[in-house]
Structure 1
């Protein structure tokens, strides 16, 4: 069976920055593979494009340029925020505001963002909301472990109809 839309894929890979000999930043193994529903929009689009049509047992090795992955570093995504927005019950957790810490936040539209603390002053916190791999070319190498038809439950979950905490009326068993 070939990798294609609505197929459940299991694979191993090594992710290296800026070439096959670059720094390894992530690795999955047979004991803990990457598993995903192909075409559900949860993976980098070009990553899926490179895997489409492959079968279980096939090896792969490809590079995604920064623009095909997480894009270039956007200087507008580095912002200074008033320190008081980090107050919870009138106090600021100074340990949270440590340079290098990732802090989950939301923008004005309610979209979730992760920001990295770059600097902290008495009044401001400078944060970087670029993806940590923005600006980097990504090199993936690995092998496809399995490809199968997705279950109805996996398709429903990918469509945003997953059951959370009880009957959702979708016909799935919760």
Structure 2
């Protein structure tokens, strides 16, 4: 047996004001999208904004359903829309803001496992990494230069 260590690198910003201005604008778009979330069951609202290489900004919010598996996360809502409307565009940056309606969320909220797998698929498809920024409603913002930092042992088409 051999032990293997996998290292990952993320960056933590104290708040939105510490981010580059273009990222602040993207986070603001994610916050606007969060207001459109439909989450009557979990009461956990998520907004996402994507910056594409053609300059378009695509937003998405989580959309729940009484049949829980039928809902869709904000990240996947945005990335699937981008893929459907701009199939040749690359996603450069993704901003995510998430939090409960029942309390103030200050811890950064990363994408769930299903969203990580979807983001991985788009990184592989476009052959370039996606910068991912995520936060709670307020407080620290985490940046990852690629989904590979959040999902280092990715399942992809090479194993099929």
Q: Shorter-chain-normalised TM-score: which range?
A: under 0.3
TM-score, with length taken from structure 2: 0.25
Q: Which has the higher contact order (CA 8 A, sep 6+)?
A: 1
Of Structure 1 and Structure 2, the greater helix share is in 2
Considering only CA atoms, is the larger Rg found in Structure 1 or Structure 2? 1
TM-score, with length taken from structure 1: 0.23
Of Structure 1 and Structure 2, the greater strand share is in 1
